[in-house]
């Protein structure tokens, strides 16, 4: 439930890329209308020089315009369902939208019937008055952190379009839709970084909530043990507002927590291994800025993180649980899968029931031990990804793809495996490759993470 207009106190952002609060203020004052916002997003999608055809799998043009007109009429009589009513958002193709086929970025589900109802996450956005503008492209079945899709094309990252860098995955089109103002926020999913990685690669904020906050129903699963549903947007406050809507909680302003005195743990175990030069430099610069602002930076060993790679050696939860979901579909339509995706799913076939049960027990222990180690700190800080986004062209090589995918996913996966929550903030300077600083907390620390992130958001932006 969305209550009140107090969340509108956030400062106005750039005209072309406003925050949700700025848009809500413009709608409330009459400076704009929902129809104008939707028409502007549609124009961006239709731009022949833009990424619209690759970022979107389906544009819900007429329905979006109809919904916009309805929100404008409700606002005219002061009956809008929330301050955000009329703001256009995009939906990852993983989610059911009533009357549409959910393809999950694949051709294997082309024959599926249209969904009979919206996924709860989509329904909650609609109930707050957000306008669904279309379905965004993604890695097929959400199975990579890179964002390449051989079926529908790969949207380019916002960085150096003349070269063509990967957008990050699996919520690739979601991030590009927001970065290019084709939508003003996006609904994504995150199993091992699929909200945070594309946010980092496109200069956005991406959030992975504590898993239990948002129902997974109506979304094609990758790993029901690790999947989370979260937003991609332009600020911490935007993501906090969307997270509250998705969690069916009141939207209340995020009070930025003072940086001075914050205890931030920087794990030296795994999370800082094999960082490329750009990431290492930007992360060091961010930590220096936070330290100068009064944060207490403590580099600590987190031996629990050493357990994650062995648990995933045979594909882990993702391979086992995705194979269980795909095993019949892959027999019928395996020939149309992206071979890289099919290969990773089929790894789950070799995992025995006993090994899966062992995984469950090992993760339960991992979560408890990691929570005990990290709970004394206000947040954990690490680079969102170990590498800057590579070019699309260089990942035509399977070995290069595999290495980049592992390094893109690694740090984010640590948090999913310990059942935590995390946010990625831009930490690059203008002209540099987009990079993310991840702040994470233990399960249930969502509000703390938002308040801390809001307090240091501007400081870490370089």
Nearest to 226 by CA among 360, 90, 121, 369: 360
- The phi and psi torsions of 132 (rounded to 5 degrees) equal -80, 115
Spatial separation of the C-alpha atoms in residues 347 and 41, rounded to whole Å = 41
- From the list 34, 44, 82, 92, the catalytic residue is 92
Average pLDDT, integer, range 363-384 = 98
Please give the pLDDT value at position 35.
Answer: 98
Evaluate if residue 462 carries a pLDDT over 90: no
Average pLDDT, integer, range 376-395 = 98
Conformation bin of residue 83: beta by default, left when phi > 0, alpha when psi is -120 to 50: alpha
Spatial separation of the C-alpha atoms in residues 251 and 6, rounded to whole Å = 9
- Tell me the average pLDDT of the chain: 96
Average pLDDT, integer, range 58-86 = 98
Q: Which CATH architecture has domain 263-461?
A: Alpha-Beta Complex (3.90)
Evaluate if residue 275 carries a pLDDT over 90: yes
DSSP symbols for 24-63: HHHHHHTSS-HHHHHHHHHHHHH-TTSSHHHHEEEE-HHH
Average pLDDT, integer, range 71-85 = 98
- From the list 34, 90, 106, 170, the catalytic residue is 170
Asked if the domains at 6-246 and 263-461 fall in one CATH topology, the answer is yes
pLDDT over 90, % of the chain: 96
Please give the pLDDT value at position 1.
Answer: 38
Please give the pLDDT value at position 6.
Answer: 35
Average pLDDT, integer, range 372-384 = 98
Contacts of 337 (CB under 8 A, 6+ apart): 106, 108, 140, 141, 330, 345
pLDDT digit string (tens) for 128-149? 999 999 999 999 999 999 999 9
Evaluate if residue 3 carries a pLDDT over 60: no
Spatial separation of the C-alpha atoms in residues 181 and 14, rounded to whole Å = 11
Beta strand pairing status for 56-59 and 379-383? unpaired
Please give the pLDDT value at position 461.
Answer: 87
Q: Is 9 a catalytic residue?
A: no
CA 186-275-149 angle, to 5 degrees, is 40
Question: Any idea what DSSP says for residue 157?
Answer: P
Count the alpha carbons within 13 Å of 323 in the hemisphere toward its beta carbon.
19
Q: What is the CATH number of domain 6-246?
A: 3.90.1300.10
pLDDT digit string (tens) for 173-227? 999 999 999 999 999 999 999 999 999 999 999 999 999 999 999 999 999 999 9
Q: Is 177 a catalytic residue?
A: no
| Confidence (pTM) | 0.96
Domain boundaries, the chain: 6-246, 263-461
Sign of the C-alpha dihedral, residues 269, 193, 153, 433? negative
Give the full edge-to-edge strand order of the sheet including 263-267. Answer: 56-59, 131-136, 88-92, 186-190, 228-233, 205-208, 421-426, 436-441, 379-383, 263-267, 296-300
Residue 206, SS3 per DSSP: strand
Q: What are the tokens at 88?
A: 């256009």
pLDDT digit string (tens) for 306-321? 999 999 999 999 999 9
Beta strand pairing status for 263-267 and 296-300? parallel
CA 156 to chain centroid? 16
Start-to-end CA span in the chain (Å): 35
pLDDT digit string (tens) for 318-345? 999 999 999 999 999 999 999 999 999 9
Q: Sorting pLDDT into bands at 50, 70 and 90, what band is 16?
A: low
- From the list 194, 312, 322, 424, the catalytic residue is 194
Q: Where are the alpha helices (DSSP H) in 293-433?
A: 308-311, 316-333, 339-346, 353-374, 398-417
Q: Is 144 a catalytic residue?
A: no
Please give the pLDDT value at position 162.
Answer: 97
pLDDT digit string (tens) for 413-459? 999 999 999 999 999 999 999 999 999 999 999 999 999 999 999 99
């Amino acid at each position: 439930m969305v209550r009140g207009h107090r969340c509108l106190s956030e400062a106005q952002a750039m005209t072309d890329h406003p925050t949700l609060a700025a848009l809500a203020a413009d709608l409330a004052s009459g400076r704009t209308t929902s129809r104008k916002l939707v028409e502007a997003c549609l124009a961006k999608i239709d731009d022949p020089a833009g990424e619209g055809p690759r970022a979107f799998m389906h544009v819900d043009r007429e329905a979006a315009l109809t919904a916009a007109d309805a929100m404008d009429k409700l606002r005219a009589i002061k009956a809008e369902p929330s301050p955000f009513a009329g703001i256009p958002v995009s939906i990852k193709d993983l989610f059911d939208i009533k009357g549409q086929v959910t393809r999950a970025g694949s051709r294997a589900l082309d024959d599926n019937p249209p969904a009979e109802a919206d996924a709860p996450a989509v329904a909650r956005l609609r109930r707050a008055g957000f306008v669904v503008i279309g379905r965004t492209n993604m890695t097929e079945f959400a199975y990579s952190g890179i964002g390449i899709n051989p079926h529908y094309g790969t949207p380019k990252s916002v960085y150096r379009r003349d070269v063509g860098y990967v957008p990050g995955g699996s919520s690739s089109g979601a991030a590009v839709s927001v970065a290019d103002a084709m939508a003003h926020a996006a609904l994504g999913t995150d199993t091992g970084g699929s909200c945070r990685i594309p946010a980092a690669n496109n200069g956005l904020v991406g959030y992975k909530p504590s898993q239990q906050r948002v129902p997974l129903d109506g979304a094609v699963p990758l790993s029901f043990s690790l999947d989370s549903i979260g937003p991609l947007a332009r600020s911490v406050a935007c993501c906090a507002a969307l997270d509250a809507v998705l969690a069916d909680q009141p939207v209340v302003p995020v009070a930025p927590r003072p940086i001075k005195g914050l205890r931030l743990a920087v794990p030296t175990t795994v999370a800082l291994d094999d960082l490329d030069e750009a990431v290492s430099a930007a992360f060091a610069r961010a930590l220096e800025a936070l330290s100068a602002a009064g944060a207490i930076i403590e580099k600590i060993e987190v031996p629990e993180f050493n357990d994650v790679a062995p648990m995933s050696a045979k594909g882990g939860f993702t391979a086992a649980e995705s194979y269980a979901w795909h095993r019949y579909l892959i027999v019928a339509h395996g020939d149309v899968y992206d071979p890289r995706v099919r290969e990773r799913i089929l790894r789950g076939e070799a995992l025995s029931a006993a090994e899966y049960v062992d995984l469950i027990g090992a993760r339960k222990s991992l979560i408890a031990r990691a929570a005990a180690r990290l709970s004394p700190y206000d947040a954990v800080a690490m680079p969102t990804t170990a590498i800057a986004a590579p070019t699309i062209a260089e990942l035509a090589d399977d070995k290069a793809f595999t290495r980049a995918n592992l390094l893109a996913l690694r740090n984010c996966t640590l948090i999913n495996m310990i059942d935590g929550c995390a946010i990625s903030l831009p930490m690059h300077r203008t002209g540099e490759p987009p990079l993310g600083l991840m702040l994470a907390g233990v399960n249930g620390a969502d509000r703390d993470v938002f308040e801390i992130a809001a307090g240091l958001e501007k400081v870490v932006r370089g």
